[in-house]
Structure 1
Amino acid sequence: MPIITLTTDFGEKDHFAGTVKGAIYSELEDVRIVDISHSVDPFHLMEAAYIIQNAYKSFPPGTIHIIGIDSELNPENKHIAVLLDGHFFICANNGIISMLTSQIRPEKIVEINIHDRIESNFPVLDVFVKVACHIARGGTLEVIGKNIEKIKQLTGIKPVVNPENNQIIGNVIYIDNYGNVISNISRTLFEKIGKGRDFVISARTANFKTIHTHYSDAINFDLPHEKREEDGKKLALWNASGYLELAIYKSNPNTVGSASTLFGLAYRDTITINFSGK
């Protein structure tokens, strides 16, 4: 049974997500539809890219991923279907897939060219669903598009290393439901540049000299509960995706605050790591 996932900025209030599911079921009764997220901030390509990058690998090869973010067709925003890492991705060529292709080379990319056969002002519903169902039936990408070699890249998402190799300047690329702040600084880059040296992470007024592997690593469980520093405990850690994350232990953005609110960090804000010694 084919699997089709949906990642959009439609939200939960409107009918759009349900309409897309209904259109898929109208074409394919024997299919599974999985919602990855419909709560991406409107037109937030980087946020959607981060979510997709971390979600798709949990699905079996052959899964079809519809990404409905900034998908209106225009001369600078064509539609594409991509076969990458054994998965199919259907989206606009707006840079959203570039975070995946920076690590894995696509097996095939086509620019979708079936628009003259479909009257549409809702491309996710009309075009993307048609393409997804075509692939789910075993159809090839060449039937619905022409081969292209390159896709648009998201700009400004790569960290910068200074010429002296003692500083990494990164940016906030995602803020999760807990208000934790995720940067674009990977553990691989940190270890390559840091080479075991001492360091200081700076993000506005917050500073860190240690990076943990788990949230609870920041808590000293050898102390009695009443003597532990838990509430509001700030920490830096390598998250499950291998990126540097700044967090508040057991934070709640609606009550006690979060890393984003307490550190004053928002999307694209700077996070700097300075290494000492040579």
Structure 2
Amino acid sequence: MAIITLTTDFGEKDHFVGAVKGAIYTELEDVKIVDISHSIAPFHLHEASYIIQSAYKSFPKGTIHIIGVDSELNPENKHIAVLLDDHYFICADNGIISMLIAEIRPEKIVEINIHDRIISNFPVLDVFVKVAGHIARGGTLDVIGKVTTEIKEMTGIRPVVNRNGSQIIGNIIYIDNYGNAISNISKKLFEQVGRGRDFIIAARSIKITKINANYSDAINFDLPADRREEGGKKLALWNSSNYLELAIYKSNPSTVGGASSLIGLGFRDSFTVNFVSDAL
């Protein structure tokens, strides 16, 4: 049974998500549909890129991922289907899979060319669903598109390493539901550049010298509860997607606040990781 995931900026108020699911079931009666997220900020490509990159590996090989963000067809925003890491991705060629191709080379990319057979101003509903159905039935990408080797990449998706390897300049690419600020610095890059050296993470006025494996690692549980520093505790950790995250212990944006508000970090804001041998 085919699995098709949906990642969109459609929200929950309108009919769009339900209509897409209905079209999938019309195309394929025996299929499982999984919602990854429909709460991407409108047209927010970095959010979509991070979320699909973080989620897709949990699915079986052969899963088909429809990404409906900024998907209107125009001369600068073509449609593509990508086979990467034994998963299929159907989306616009707007840089949305930049985080995936930064680490894994696609096995095949095609520019979808079935639009002359489909009249639509809702491509996710019509074009993307048709492509997903074709793939789910065992069809090849060559039938629905022209092979290409280049796709767009987003700016700001890659951190910058200075010439002597003493500093990484990262950017915030996503603020999660808890107000945690996720950066574009991967654990793999950090370890390659850092080579085991001590470091200082400098973000606004805070400095952090340790990266935790878990949020609670920042708390000294050997101390009595009334003597622990918990409220507003600032920390850094490798999140479940292995990206450097700046967080507040037990944050809540609507009450105590989160890293985004308490540290003052928003989308695209930069911060630095300075390796101590060169930073002092």
User: Which TM bucket (shorter chain)?
Assistant: over 0.9
User: Could you tell me which residue of structure 2 aligns to residue 119 of structure 1?
Assistant: 119
CA distance in 1 between counterparts of 2:164 and 2:26 reads: 59
User: Could you tell me which residue of structure 1 aligns to residue 190 of structure 2?
Assistant: 190
Report the alpha carbon displacement of residue 158 of structure 1 after superposing the two structures with TM: 1.1
Report the alpha carbon displacement of residue 190 of structure 1 after superposing the two structures with TM: 1.7
The AA in structure 2 aligned to 1:139 is: G
Report the alpha carbon displacement of residue 66 of structure 1 after superposing the two structures with TM: 0.2
Contact 1:230 1:249 in 2 (8 A): yes
- Range 44-53 or range 96-105, more displaced: 96-105
Report the alpha carbon displacement of residue 255 of structure 1 after superposing the two structures with TM: 0.7
Report the alpha carbon displacement of residue 192 of structure 1 after superposing the two structures with TM: 2.1
CA distance in 2 between counterparts of 1:186 and 1:71 reads: 28
- Is 1:6 paired with 2:6? yes
User: Could you tell me which residue of structure 1 aligns to residue 234 of structure 2?
Assistant: 234
User: Could you tell me which residue of structure 2 aligns to residue 139 of structure 1?
Assistant: 139
TM-score by structure 1 length? 0.98
User: Could you tell me which residue of structure 1 aligns to residue 100 of structure 2?
Assistant: 100
Report the alpha carbon displacement of residue 164 of structure 1 after superposing the two structures with TM: 2.4
CA distance in 2 between counterparts of 1:65 and 1:221 reads: 42
- Is 1:85 paired with 2:55? no
Contact 2:98 2:157 in 1 (8 A): no
Across the aligned residues of Structure 1 and Structure 2, the Cα RMSD in angstroms comes to 1.0
Contact 1:113 1:144 in 2 (8 A): yes
Q: Secondary structure at the match of 1:277?
A: helix
Render the CA deviation track for 1:69-125: whole Å, top value 9, x for unaligned: 000000010000011111110000001112111111111111000001001000000
User: Could you tell me which residue of structure 2 aligns to residue 207 of structure 1?
Assistant: 207
Contact 1:201 1:209 in 2 (8 A): yes
1:172-187 alignment to 2 at 5 Å? 172-187=172-187
Q: Secondary structure at the match of 2:211?
A: coil
Contact 2:199 2:209 in 1 (8 A): yes
The AA in structure 1 aligned to 2:228 is: R
User: Could you tell me which residue of structure 1 aligns to residue 72 of structure 2?
Assistant: 72
CA distance in 1 between counterparts of 2:98 and 2:233 reads: 35
Report the alpha carbon displacement of residue 2 of structure 1 after superposing the two structures with TM: 0.5
User: Could you tell me which residue of structure 2 aligns to residue 162 of structure 1?
Assistant: 162
Contact 1:183 1:271 in 2 (8 A): no
CA distance in 2 between counterparts of 1:90 and 1:71 reads: 10
Q: Secondary structure at the match of 2:18?
A: helix
- Range 81-90 or range 200-209, more displaced: 200-209
CA distance in 1 between counterparts of 2:106 and 2:194 reads: 31
- Range 160-169 or range 26-35, more displaced: 160-169
The AA in structure 1 aligned to 2:25 is: Y
1:5-24 alignment to 2 at 5 Å? 5-24=5-24
TM-score by structure 2 length? 0.97
CA distance in 1 between counterparts of 2:262 and 2:276 reads: 27
CA distance in 2 between counterparts of 1:241 and 1:15 reads: 31
User: Could you tell me which residue of structure 2 aligns to residue 129 of structure 1?
Assistant: 129
User: Could you tell me which residue of structure 2 aligns to residue 258 of structure 1?
Assistant: 258
Report the alpha carbon displacement of residue 197 of structure 1 after superposing the two structures with TM: 2.4
CA distance in 1 between counterparts of 2:121 and 2:196 reads: 54
Gaps of 5+ in 1: none
The AA in structure 1 aligned to 2:153 is: Q
The AA in structure 2 aligned to 1:204 is: R
Render the CA deviation track for 1:163-201: whole Å, top value 9, x for unaligned: 222111110011111010011112222222222322211
CA distance in 2 between counterparts of 1:234 and 1:276 reads: 20
Contact 1:10 1:16 in 2 (8 A): yes
CA distance in 2 between counterparts of 1:242 and 1:262 reads: 23
